[in-house]
Amino acid sequence: MTPFRIRRYSRPAGRQMRARARQVQAWLRSDFMPIRMERPTPIIFYRQPVSTPLSAAAQLSSRKLCAAAAELLGHGDENLFGDWSIADADLALMLQRLILNGDQVPHPLVRYARAQWERPSVQGWVRRERPPV
């Protein structure tokens, strides 16, 4: 077993919640290309912030992300679907693209993303040795 294996408990219970989690994950991976292009993944793993401000398209994308994330987390729980799931890690990763760059993200979403980021399993993944840039 590898330390980064997704365990059985890392997905929501029940068919409807698992389908919703997959929907959220697909949405995060398909609808935010302006953020992905302007705040690429290396900024997270190599701590290389981008100095340029977000374009108008990326700002719109950021507002859409934050509004939807706030609605998804509006139930007040610390995770999207009760127990922690990999969908929480995906949402936190997208938010971290903005947070680590100093882009504007509402404080409750910053708290959520940081709490997800502090999970030992997520930190194990974040701190994996990677090739030099």
Question: pLDDT (tens digit, 0 to 9) for every residue of the chain, 133 residues total?
Answer: 444 444 444 667 788 888 988 999 999 999 999 999 999 988 888 777 777 999 999 999 999 999 999 999 998 889 998 888 899 999 999 999 999 999 999 999 999 999 999 999 888 888 888 888 7
96 close to 125: Cβ distance less than 8 angstroms? no
Question: Does the domain made of 15-37+53-126 have the CATH classification 2.40.40.20?
Answer: no
Q: Could you tell me the sign of the dihedral formed by the alpha carbons of 44, 46, 50, 55, in that order? A: negative
- Tell me the H-state helices in 9-101: 15-30, 33-38, 42-45, 56-72, 86-99
**pLDDT value of residue 7:** 47
Tokens 């993303």 found at? 113
**pLDDT value of residue 109:** 97
Structural domain boundaries of the chain? 15-37+53-126
